[in-house]
Protein backbone atom coordinates (compact mmCIF):
# COMPACT_ATOMS: atom_id res chain seq x y z
CA UNK A 1 0.00 0.00 0.00
CA UNK A 2 1.41 3.39 -1.04
CA UNK A 3 0.06 6.34 0.93
CA UNK A 4 0.92 9.85 -0.15
CA UNK A 5 0.72 12.31 2.74
CA UNK A 6 0.92 16.04 2.06
CA UNK A 7 1.88 18.50 4.80
CA UNK A 8 3.67 15.72 6.71
CA UNK A 9 6.34 18.07 8.05
CA UNK A 10 3.66 20.03 9.92
CA UNK A 11 1.91 19.36 13.21
CA UNK A 12 -0.85 16.86 12.48
CA UNK A 13 0.71 15.39 9.32
CA UNK A 14 3.89 14.40 11.17
CA UNK A 15 1.91 12.82 14.01
CA UNK A 16 -0.06 10.91 11.36
CA UNK A 17 3.15 9.64 9.75
CA UNK A 18 4.39 8.37 13.14
CA UNK A 19 1.04 6.72 13.83
CA UNK A 20 0.93 5.00 10.43
CA UNK A 21 4.52 3.75 10.53
CA UNK A 22 3.91 2.18 13.90
CA UNK A 23 0.60 0.58 12.98
CA UNK A 24 1.35 -0.44 9.37
CA UNK A 25 5.10 -1.10 9.12
CA UNK A 26 4.61 -2.61 5.63
CA UNK A 27 3.06 0.49 4.06
CA UNK A 28 5.11 2.87 1.93
CA UNK A 29 4.59 6.43 3.07
CA UNK A 30 5.42 9.26 0.69
CA UNK A 31 5.48 12.72 2.25
CA UNK A 32 5.09 15.84 0.08
CA UNK A 33 5.70 19.13 1.85
CA UNK A 34 6.81 22.58 0.73
CA UNK A 35 8.54 23.24 4.07
CA UNK A 36 6.93 26.63 4.56
CA UNK A 37 7.51 28.45 7.85
CA UNK A 38 5.24 25.80 9.44
CA UNK A 39 7.04 22.75 8.05
CA UNK A 40 10.09 21.32 9.79
CA UNK A 41 12.22 18.59 8.37
CA UNK A 42 13.75 18.09 11.82
CA UNK A 43 10.34 16.81 12.95
CA UNK A 44 10.74 13.90 10.53
CA UNK A 45 14.38 13.19 11.40
CA UNK A 46 13.57 9.80 12.95
CA UNK A 47 11.98 8.48 9.73
CA UNK A 48 13.76 10.37 6.93
CA UNK A 49 16.29 7.70 5.97
CA UNK A 50 14.18 4.70 6.87
CA UNK A 51 12.92 2.14 4.31
CA UNK A 52 9.23 2.63 3.53
CA UNK A 53 9.47 6.40 3.81
CA UNK A 54 10.18 9.02 1.15
CA UNK A 55 10.19 12.78 1.34
CA UNK A 56 9.60 15.26 -1.50
CA UNK A 57 9.89 19.00 -1.05
CA UNK A 58 7.18 20.30 -3.37
CA UNK A 59 4.26 22.71 -3.59
CA UNK A 60 0.88 20.97 -3.87
CA UNK A 61 -0.26 23.81 -6.12
CA UNK A 62 2.58 23.10 -8.59
CA UNK A 63 0.82 20.84 -11.08
CA UNK A 64 3.90 19.51 -12.87
CA UNK A 65 5.74 18.74 -9.65
CA UNK A 66 2.70 16.93 -8.26
CA UNK A 67 2.10 14.92 -11.46
CA UNK A 68 5.78 13.89 -11.53
CA UNK A 69 5.55 12.58 -7.95
CA UNK A 70 2.29 10.69 -8.62
CA UNK A 71 3.73 9.20 -11.83
CA UNK A 72 6.74 7.92 -9.93
CA UNK A 73 5.14 6.82 -6.65
CA UNK A 74 1.73 5.55 -7.84
CA UNK A 75 -0.11 6.23 -4.57
CA UNK A 76 -3.14 4.12 -3.65
CA UNK A 77 -4.37 6.65 -1.08
CA UNK A 78 -3.77 10.39 -0.76
CA UNK A 79 -4.24 12.20 2.55
CA UNK A 80 -4.09 15.98 2.21
CA UNK A 81 -2.93 17.77 5.36
CA UNK A 82 -0.99 20.47 3.50
CA UNK A 83 -2.49 23.87 4.17
CA UNK A 84 -1.91 27.33 5.42
CA UNK A 85 -3.45 26.73 8.82
CA UNK A 86 -3.28 29.84 11.00
CA UNK A 87 -6.36 32.06 11.22
CA UNK A 88 -4.40 35.17 12.32
CA UNK A 89 -2.05 34.93 9.33
CA UNK A 90 -5.05 34.55 7.00
CA UNK A 91 -6.43 37.84 8.30
CA UNK A 92 -3.13 39.58 7.44
CA UNK A 93 -2.46 37.89 4.06
CA UNK A 94 -5.32 35.84 2.62
CA UNK A 95 -3.95 35.14 -0.87
CA UNK A 96 -1.59 32.26 -0.10
CA UNK A 97 -4.51 30.55 1.69
CA UNK A 98 -6.45 30.48 -1.56
CA UNK A 99 -3.49 29.15 -3.52
CA UNK A 100 -2.49 26.37 -1.16
CA UNK A 101 -5.81 25.42 0.36
CA UNK A 102 -8.02 25.59 -2.73
CA UNK A 103 -5.79 25.38 -5.84
CA UNK A 104 -3.50 22.88 -4.08
CA UNK A 105 -6.48 20.65 -3.28
CA UNK A 106 -7.70 20.85 -6.88
CA UNK A 107 -4.27 19.91 -8.26
CA UNK A 108 -4.02 16.93 -5.88
CA UNK A 109 -7.47 15.72 -6.96
CA UNK A 110 -6.62 16.11 -10.66
CA UNK A 111 -3.50 14.04 -10.04
CA UNK A 112 -5.59 11.49 -8.10
CA UNK A 113 -7.97 11.21 -11.06
CA UNK A 114 -5.19 10.97 -13.63
CA UNK A 115 -3.17 8.33 -11.77
CA UNK A 116 -6.06 6.17 -10.53
CA UNK A 117 -5.84 6.90 -6.80
CA UNK A 118 -8.33 4.68 -4.94
CA UNK A 119 -9.13 7.12 -2.12
CA UNK A 120 -8.52 10.86 -1.76
CA UNK A 121 -8.94 12.08 1.81
CA UNK A 122 -9.27 15.78 2.62
CA UNK A 123 -8.30 16.88 6.13
CA UNK A 124 -10.74 19.69 6.82
CA UNK A 125 -11.79 21.56 9.93
CA UNK A 126 -14.80 22.34 12.11
CA UNK A 127 -14.19 26.01 11.28
CA UNK A 128 -16.05 25.53 7.98
CA UNK A 129 -19.30 25.54 10.01
CA UNK A 130 -18.64 29.02 11.42
CA UNK A 131 -19.36 29.41 15.12
CA UNK A 132 -22.05 28.71 17.71
CA UNK A 133 -23.37 31.15 20.32
CA UNK A 134 -21.99 30.82 23.86
CA UNK A 135 -25.47 30.69 25.39
CA UNK A 136 -26.74 27.69 23.39
CA UNK A 137 -24.92 24.73 24.95
CA UNK A 138 -27.45 22.44 23.26
CA UNK A 139 -26.12 23.23 19.76
CA UNK A 140 -23.36 21.22 18.05
CA UNK A 141 -21.94 21.00 14.53
CA UNK A 142 -23.19 17.95 12.66
CA UNK A 143 -22.20 16.94 9.12
CA UNK A 144 -25.36 18.61 7.82
CA UNK A 145 -24.74 21.97 9.52
CA UNK A 146 -24.50 24.50 6.65
CA UNK A 147 -21.03 25.85 5.81
CA UNK A 148 -20.89 29.42 7.14
CA UNK A 149 -17.33 30.69 7.43
CA UNK A 150 -15.78 33.65 9.23
CA UNK A 151 -12.09 34.01 8.35
CA UNK A 152 -10.15 33.83 5.08
CA UNK A 153 -8.65 30.59 6.48
CA UNK A 154 -11.98 28.89 7.12
CA UNK A 155 -13.40 30.20 3.84
CA UNK A 156 -10.49 28.69 1.93
CA UNK A 157 -10.98 25.35 3.72
CA UNK A 158 -14.72 25.44 2.93
CA UNK A 159 -13.91 26.25 -0.72
CA UNK A 160 -11.67 23.19 -0.80
CA UNK A 161 -14.37 20.98 0.77
CA UNK A 162 -16.86 22.07 -1.89
CA UNK A 163 -14.34 21.21 -4.62
CA UNK A 164 -13.78 17.78 -3.06
CA UNK A 165 -17.52 17.11 -3.09
CA UNK A 166 -17.72 18.37 -6.67
CA UNK A 167 -14.97 15.94 -7.75
CA UNK A 168 -16.94 13.10 -6.20
CA UNK A 169 -20.24 14.01 -7.84
CA UNK A 170 -18.86 15.16 -11.20
CA UNK A 171 -15.97 12.80 -11.82
CA UNK A 172 -16.76 9.96 -9.43
CA UNK A 173 -13.48 10.43 -7.53
CA UNK A 174 -13.47 8.29 -4.38
CA UNK A 175 -13.21 10.97 -1.71
CA UNK A 176 -13.75 11.36 2.02
CA UNK A 177 -13.58 14.47 4.20
CA UNK A 178 -12.89 14.75 7.94
CA UNK A 179 -13.77 17.92 9.87
CA UNK A 180 -11.95 17.97 13.16
CA UNK A 181 -11.96 20.32 16.11
CA UNK A 182 -8.84 21.99 17.60
CA UNK A 183 -5.90 19.61 18.00
CA UNK A 184 -3.12 19.82 20.56
CA UNK A 185 -0.01 17.71 21.20
CA UNK A 186 3.66 17.34 20.19
CA UNK A 187 5.09 19.34 17.25
CA UNK A 188 2.34 21.98 17.39
CA UNK A 189 3.77 25.18 15.88
CA UNK A 190 4.23 27.84 18.59
CA UNK A 191 2.02 30.44 16.86
CA UNK A 192 -1.06 28.55 18.11
CA UNK A 193 -2.64 29.15 21.53
CA UNK A 194 -1.45 26.10 23.52
CA UNK A 195 2.21 25.93 22.41
CA UNK A 196 2.48 29.74 22.39
CA UNK A 197 1.31 29.85 25.99
CA UNK A 198 3.69 27.07 27.06
CA UNK A 199 6.69 28.65 25.32
CA UNK A 200 5.95 32.19 26.58
CA UNK A 201 5.30 30.97 30.13
CA UNK A 202 8.61 29.13 30.16
CA UNK A 203 10.27 32.48 29.34
CA UNK A 204 8.11 34.39 31.88
CA UNK A 205 6.78 36.43 28.95
CA UNK A 206 3.23 37.87 28.79
CA UNK A 207 0.55 35.36 27.80
CA UNK A 208 -1.69 37.09 25.23
CA UNK A 209 -5.39 36.27 25.51
CA UNK A 210 -7.65 37.75 22.84
CA UNK A 211 -10.65 39.77 23.99
CA UNK A 212 -12.02 38.49 27.28
CA UNK A 213 -10.76 34.92 26.79
CA UNK A 214 -14.29 33.54 26.83
CA UNK A 215 -14.21 31.99 23.35
CA UNK A 216 -14.66 28.23 23.47
CA UNK A 217 -12.72 25.60 21.50
CA UNK A 218 -13.30 21.83 21.49
CA UNK A 219 -9.83 20.30 22.08
CA UNK A 220 -8.74 16.87 20.84
CA UNK A 221 -5.39 15.15 21.39
CA UNK A 222 -3.66 14.90 17.99
CA UNK A 223 -3.24 11.10 18.16
CA UNK A 224 -7.01 10.68 18.41
CA UNK A 225 -7.41 12.73 15.23
CA UNK A 226 -4.80 10.55 13.48
CA UNK A 227 -6.67 7.40 14.51
CA UNK A 228 -9.90 8.83 13.12
CA UNK A 229 -8.27 9.54 9.75
CA UNK A 230 -6.74 6.05 9.73
CA UNK A 231 -10.25 4.57 10.18
CA UNK A 232 -11.81 6.83 7.53
CA UNK A 233 -9.25 6.08 4.81
CA UNK A 234 -9.61 2.34 5.39
CA UNK A 235 -13.31 1.99 6.19
CA UNK A 236 -15.04 5.30 5.44
CA UNK A 237 -17.61 5.47 2.67
CA UNK A 238 -16.88 7.33 -0.56
CA UNK A 239 -18.39 10.83 -0.70
CA UNK A 240 -18.93 11.02 3.06
CA UNK A 241 -18.00 13.73 5.56
CA UNK A 242 -17.05 12.73 9.12
CA UNK A 243 -16.92 15.18 12.03
CA UNK A 244 -14.18 14.43 14.57
CA UNK A 245 -14.23 15.82 18.10
CA UNK A 246 -14.17 14.65 21.68
CA UNK A 247 -16.74 16.80 23.53
CA UNK A 248 -14.01 18.70 25.31
CA UNK A 249 -15.06 22.33 25.24
CA UNK A 250 -12.94 24.83 27.11
CA UNK A 251 -12.67 28.62 27.31
CA UNK A 252 -9.32 30.05 26.19
CA UNK A 253 -8.73 31.75 29.54
CA UNK A 254 -9.18 28.44 31.37
CA UNK A 255 -6.64 26.73 29.10
CA UNK A 256 -4.10 29.48 29.72
CA UNK A 257 -4.66 29.34 33.49
CA UNK A 258 -4.30 25.56 33.47
CA UNK A 259 -0.96 25.79 31.66
CA UNK A 260 0.24 28.39 34.23
CA UNK A 261 -0.74 26.00 36.99
CA UNK A 262 1.08 23.02 35.43
CA UNK A 263 4.23 25.06 34.92
CA UNK A 264 4.07 26.78 38.33
CA UNK A 265 3.85 30.21 36.69
CA UNK A 266 1.76 33.12 38.04
CA UNK A 267 -1.51 34.08 36.37
CA UNK A 268 -0.26 37.67 36.47
CA UNK A 269 1.58 36.80 33.21
CA UNK A 270 -1.82 36.78 31.45
CA UNK A 271 -2.39 39.87 29.32
CA UNK A 272 -5.73 40.55 27.69
CA UNK A 273 -5.09 41.97 24.22
CA UNK A 274 -7.16 43.31 21.31
CA UNK A 275 -9.49 40.64 20.01
CA UNK A 276 -9.00 38.73 16.73
CA UNK A 277 -11.09 40.28 13.93
CA UNK A 278 -14.24 38.21 13.29
CA UNK A 279 -13.31 35.94 16.23
CA UNK A 280 -15.46 32.78 16.28
CA UNK A 281 -17.15 32.36 19.68
CA UNK A 282 -17.62 28.64 20.10
CA UNK A 283 -16.82 25.42 18.24
CA UNK A 284 -18.44 22.16 19.32
CA UNK A 285 -18.48 18.93 17.32
CA UNK A 286 -21.12 16.22 17.38
CA UNK A 287 -19.05 13.07 16.61
CA UNK A 288 -22.02 10.65 16.60
CA UNK A 289 -21.63 9.70 12.92
CA UNK A 290 -17.99 8.57 13.10
CA UNK A 291 -18.72 6.76 16.34
CA UNK A 292 -21.71 4.86 14.93
CA UNK A 293 -20.29 4.23 11.46
CA UNK A 294 -16.64 3.46 12.27
CA UNK A 295 -16.52 2.90 16.03
CA UNK A 296 -14.22 5.87 16.68
CA UNK A 297 -14.01 7.31 20.17
CA UNK A 298 -11.39 9.67 21.61
CA UNK A 299 -8.96 7.83 23.89
CA UNK A 300 -6.93 10.59 25.55
CA UNK A 301 -8.60 12.61 28.30
CA UNK A 302 -7.73 16.31 28.28
CA UNK A 303 -6.05 16.18 31.73
CA UNK A 304 -3.68 13.50 30.44
CA UNK A 305 -3.19 14.99 26.98
CA UNK A 306 -2.29 18.45 28.24
CA UNK A 307 0.18 16.99 30.72
CA UNK A 308 1.81 14.87 27.98
CA UNK A 309 1.93 17.93 25.73
CA UNK A 310 3.54 20.19 28.34
CA UNK A 311 6.07 17.46 29.15
CA UNK A 312 6.86 17.12 25.45
CA UNK A 313 7.63 20.86 25.19
CA UNK A 314 9.79 20.65 28.30
CA UNK A 315 11.70 17.67 26.91
CA UNK A 316 12.05 18.96 23.34
CA UNK A 317 13.20 22.51 23.83
CA UNK A 318 15.61 22.29 20.91
CA UNK A 319 12.74 21.75 18.48
CA UNK A 320 10.86 24.92 19.41
CA UNK A 321 13.90 27.03 20.30
CA UNK A 322 15.08 26.66 16.68
CA UNK A 323 11.68 27.91 15.51
CA UNK A 324 11.29 30.89 17.82
CA UNK A 325 14.70 32.29 17.06
CA UNK A 326 14.02 32.42 13.29
CA UNK A 327 11.36 34.21 11.20
CA UNK A 328 8.94 33.60 14.07
CA UNK A 329 10.39 36.61 15.93
CA UNK A 330 9.26 39.01 13.16
CA UNK A 331 5.85 37.36 13.11
CA UNK A 332 5.51 37.64 16.87
CA UNK A 333 6.54 41.33 16.94
CA UNK A 334 4.14 42.16 14.13
CA UNK A 335 1.18 40.41 15.76
CA UNK A 336 1.70 41.16 19.43
CA UNK A 337 3.80 44.31 19.98
CA UNK A 338 1.50 47.10 21.24
CA UNK A 339 -1.53 44.97 20.54
P1 LIG B 1 0.59 23.09 10.06
O2 LIG B 1 0.54 24.52 9.67
O3 LIG B 1 1.29 22.69 11.30
O4 LIG B 1 1.26 22.24 8.88
C5 LIG B 1 0.98 22.48 7.52
C6 LIG B 1 2.04 21.78 6.68
O7 LIG B 1 1.71 21.96 5.29
C8 LIG B 1 3.46 22.33 6.88
O9 LIG B 1 4.37 21.29 6.99
C10 LIG B 1 3.71 23.13 5.60
O11 LIG B 1 5.09 23.18 5.22
C12 LIG B 1 2.87 22.36 4.60
N13 LIG B 1 2.46 23.20 3.45
C14 LIG B 1 1.93 24.44 3.48
N15 LIG B 1 1.70 24.88 2.22
C16 LIG B 1 2.08 23.88 1.39
C17 LIG B 1 2.08 23.72 -0.02
N18 LIG B 1 1.64 24.71 -0.83
N19 LIG B 1 2.52 22.56 -0.54
C20 LIG B 1 2.99 21.56 0.26
N21 LIG B 1 3.03 21.66 1.60
C22 LIG B 1 2.58 22.80 2.15
O23 LIG B 1 -0.92 22.61 10.05
P24 LIG B 1 -1.65 21.51 10.98
O25 LIG B 1 -2.12 22.17 12.20
O26 LIG B 1 -0.82 20.30 11.03
O27 LIG B 1 -2.94 21.21 10.08
C28 LIG B 1 -2.92 20.18 9.10
C29 LIG B 1 -4.28 20.14 8.42
O30 LIG B 1 -5.29 19.88 9.40
C31 LIG B 1 -4.67 21.44 7.75
O32 LIG B 1 -5.31 21.12 6.53
C33 LIG B 1 -5.64 22.09 8.71
O34 LIG B 1 -6.57 22.89 8.03
C35 LIG B 1 -6.31 20.87 9.34
N36 LIG B 1 -6.81 21.03 10.71
C37 LIG B 1 -6.00 21.50 11.71
C38 LIG B 1 -6.48 21.56 13.02
C39 LIG B 1 -5.62 22.04 14.14
O40 LIG B 1 -6.13 22.19 15.26
N41 LIG B 1 -4.34 22.28 13.96
C42 LIG B 1 -7.79 21.15 13.29
C43 LIG B 1 -8.60 20.69 12.24
C44 LIG B 1 -8.08 20.61 10.97
O1 LIG C 1 -2.18 34.38 21.20
C2 LIG C 1 -3.33 33.89 21.12
N3 LIG C 1 -4.28 34.25 22.03
C4 LIG C 1 -5.57 33.81 21.99
O5 LIG C 1 -6.40 34.18 22.83
C6 LIG C 1 -3.70 32.93 20.09
C7 LIG C 1 -2.69 32.49 19.07
C8 LIG C 1 -5.00 32.48 20.08
N9 LIG C 1 -5.92 32.90 20.97
C10 LIG C 1 -7.30 32.37 20.91
C11 LIG C 1 -7.95 32.42 19.55
C12 LIG C 1 -8.84 31.18 19.57
O13 LIG C 1 -10.07 31.50 20.16
O14 LIG C 1 -7.20 30.99 21.25
C15 LIG C 1 -8.09 30.20 20.46
C16 LIG C 1 -7.29 29.18 19.69
O17 LIG C 1 -6.54 29.88 18.71
P18 LIG C 1 -5.58 29.12 17.68
O19 LIG C 1 -4.65 28.27 18.43
O20 LIG C 1 -5.04 30.15 16.73
O21 LIG C 1 -6.61 28.13 16.95
P22 LIG C 1 -8.00 28.40 16.15
O23 LIG C 1 -8.06 29.77 15.62
O24 LIG C 1 -9.10 27.93 17.04
O25 LIG C 1 -7.79 27.38 14.90
C26 LIG C 1 -7.24 26.07 15.10
O27 LIG C 1 -8.24 25.08 15.13
C28 LIG C 1 -8.90 24.76 13.95
C29 LIG C 1 -6.22 25.73 14.01
O30 LIG C 1 -5.21 26.72 13.97
C31 LIG C 1 -6.89 25.58 12.68
O32 LIG C 1 -5.92 25.20 11.68
C33 LIG C 1 -7.93 24.50 12.79
O34 LIG C 1 -8.65 24.38 11.60
* Annotation marks residue 127 as catalytic: yes
Task: Give me the pLDDT at residue 119, please.
Answer: 99
Answer yes or no: is 139 within a domain. yes
For the Cβ of 81 lying below 6 angstroms from any atom of ligand 1, the answer is yes
Answer yes or no: is 108 within a domain. yes
Task: Give me the pLDDT at residue 99, please.
Answer: 98
* Annotation marks residue 26 as catalytic: no
* 15: confidence class by pLDDT, cuts 50, 70, 90: very high
Task: Give me the pLDDT at residue 159, please.
Answer: 98
Task: Give me the pLDDT at residue 209, please.
Answer: 98
Kindly report, residue by residue over 295-335, the tens digit of the pLDDT.
Answer: 999 999 999 999 999 999 999 999 999 999 989 999 999 99
Answer yes or no: is 325 within a domain. no
Choose among 178, 166, 194, 78: nearest CA to 128.
178
Answer yes or no: is 292 within a domain. yes
Cα 91 to ligand 2 centre (Å): 13
Answer yes or no: is 256 within a domain. no
Task: Give me the pLDDT at residue 192, please.
Answer: 98
| Sequence-distant contacts of 296-301: CB under 8 A, at least 24 apart | 296/227, 296/228, 296/231, 296/244, 298/220, 298/221, 298/224, 298/246, 298/248, 299/221, 299/223, 299/224, 299/227, 300/221, 300/223, 300/224
Task: Give me the pLDDT at residue 205, please.
Answer: 98
Please name which ligand lies nearest the alpha carbon of 14: 1
Q: Burial, 49: exposed, middle or buried (Cβ in 10 Å; 0-12, 13-18, 19+)?
A: exposed
* Range(s) of the domain holding residue 120: 2-186+218-247+282-305
Single pTM value for the model: 0.99
Task: Give me the pLDDT at residue 112, please.
Answer: 99
Contact in structure between 236 and 128 (CB atoms under 8 Å): no
- Mutational test site, ligand 1, from 36, 181, 190, 221, max ligand atoms within 8 Å of CB: 36
Answer yes or no: is 258 within a domain. no
Cα 18 to ligand 2 centre (Å): 24
For the Cβ of 252 lying below 6 angstroms from any atom of ligand 2, the answer is yes
Answer yes or no: is 331 within a domain. no
CB within 8 A of 228, min separation 6: which ones?
178, 180, 242, 244, 290, 294, 296
How many structural domains is the chain composed of? 1
CATH of the domain at 89: 3.40.50.720
* 211: confidence class by pLDDT, cuts 50, 70, 90: very high
Answer yes or no: is 38 within a domain. yes
Kindly report, residue by residue over 87-139, the tens digit of the pLDDT.
Answer: 999 999 999 999 999 999 999 999 999 999 999 999 999 999 999 999 999 99
Task: Give me the pLDDT at residue 133, please.
Answer: 98
CB atoms < 10 A from the CB of 327, how many?
A: 10
Nearest ligand 1 atom to the CA of 182 is 40
Amino acid sequence: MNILITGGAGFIGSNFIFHMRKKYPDYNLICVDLLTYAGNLSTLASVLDKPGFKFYKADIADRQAVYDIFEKEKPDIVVNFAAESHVDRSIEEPEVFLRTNIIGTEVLMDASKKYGVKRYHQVSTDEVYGDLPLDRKDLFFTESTPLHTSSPYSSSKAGADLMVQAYHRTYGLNVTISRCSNNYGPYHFPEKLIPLTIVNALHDKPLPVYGEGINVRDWLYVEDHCKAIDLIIHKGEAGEVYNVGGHNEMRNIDIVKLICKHLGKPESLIQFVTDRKGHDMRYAIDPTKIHNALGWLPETKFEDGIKKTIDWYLNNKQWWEEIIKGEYRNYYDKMYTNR
